[in-house]
């Protein structure tokens, strides 16, 4: 079955530091890949996505590249801010069959807590 593995947390950084959160996956076929973010007390929000190999998703200064050869989708940001403190989830979506009921189900990693200090 599908699975997603994220680097162990929590991650603590100083403001303006470089961020990498590793994510690797196991899936059959050609999944789409996502990063979601959960701010304190809120639900999950889509941060970025990539739907095919070598695609780069980007949003709010965050980037991730779909690497099929290494089955990875690592999240990076060049200069983090205190407001980036949140839990980050890597996820994949299977394609399923045409009209299949499994189409679009998300499988999540375990989440990585990021804390950024001033």
Partner 1 sequence: DVKVTQSSRYLVKRTGEKVFLECVQDMDHENMFWYRQDPGLGLRLIYFSYDVKMKEKGDIPEGYSVSREKKERFSLILESASTNQTSMYLCASRARDRGNYGYTFGSGTRLTVV
Q: Which of 19, 32, 84, 114 binds partner 1 (CB under 8 A)?
A: 32
| Beta-bridge mates of residue 50 | 33
Residue number, 41 or 118, with CB nearest to partner 1: 41
List, as one string, the DSSP characters of 54-76: T-EEEETTEEEE-BTTTTB--EE
CA distances from 50 to 42, 55, 117 (A): 24, 6, 30
114 makes contact with partner 1 (CB under 8 A): no
| Residues between 52 and 91 that touch partner 1 (CB under 8 A) | 89, 91
Shortest approach of partner 1 to residue 79 CB, angstroms?
26
- Would you tell me which residues interact with partner 1 (CB under 8 A)? 4, 6, 32, 34, 36, 41-46, 49, 51, 89, 91, 93, 101-111
């Amino acid at each position: 079955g599908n699975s997603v593995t994220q680097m162990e947390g929590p991650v603590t950084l100083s403001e303006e530091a470089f961020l990498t959160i590793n994510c690797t996956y196991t899936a059959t076929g050609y999944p789409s890949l996502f990063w979601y973010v959960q701010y304190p007390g809120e639900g999950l929000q889509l941060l970025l996505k990539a739907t095919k190999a070598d695609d780069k998703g980007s949003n709010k200064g965050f980037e991730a590249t779909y690497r099929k050869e290494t089955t990875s989708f690592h999240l990076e940001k060049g200069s983090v801010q205190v407001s980036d403190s949140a839990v980050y989830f890597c996820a994949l979506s299977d394609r399923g069959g045409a009209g299949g009921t499994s189409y679009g189900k998300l499988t999540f990693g375990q989440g990585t807590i990021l804390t950024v200090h001033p």
